[in-house]
Amino acid sequence: MEGDNKLVNLIDDWEVLADYAGDKLGFYQLLGSDGEIEVRVQTGRLGFKKEFAKGDDPELLTILDVCKKRCYIQISEHLRDEDFFK
């Protein structure tokens, strides 16, 4: 299983990822848990994730704006290849 060994390198600074991304293809995901919102963004092998207490947090809105302007693809969930078609 080739995909099982691939890693995403997480970074803590959103600006580093935004600068690194340039015109690269990117993906993002929003997850909700216990009233908090977690955003995850990946481009290449770099990833960023952070939890926010509110959906109107200025940093969260900035991150989502960048994702939308760069046409990043929003991921709703993930499945194994063999489970996609039944």
Q: What is the pLDDT of residue 13?
A: 95
Question: If residue 69 lies in a helix (H) or strand (E), which one and from where to where?
Answer: helix 58-69
pLDDT tens profile 24-83: 899 999 999 888 999 999 999 999 999 999 999 999 999 999 999 999 999 998 888 888
Rg, C-alpha atoms of the chain: 14
Q: What is the pLDDT of residue 41?
A: 97
Please report where in the chains the tokens 């919102």 appear, as a residue: 37
Give the DSSP letter of residue 47.
E
Q: Reply yes or no on whether the pLDDT at 22 is more than 90.
A: no
Would you place residue 21 in the very low, low, confident or very high pLDDT band (cuts 50, 70, 90)?
confident
In our burial notation (b when 16+ CB lie closer than 10 A, e otherwise), range 11-48 reads eeebeebbeebeeeebebbbeeeeeebebbbbbeebbb
Q: Reply yes or no on whether the pLDDT at 14 is more than 90.
A: yes
Q: What is the pLDDT of residue 1?
A: 43
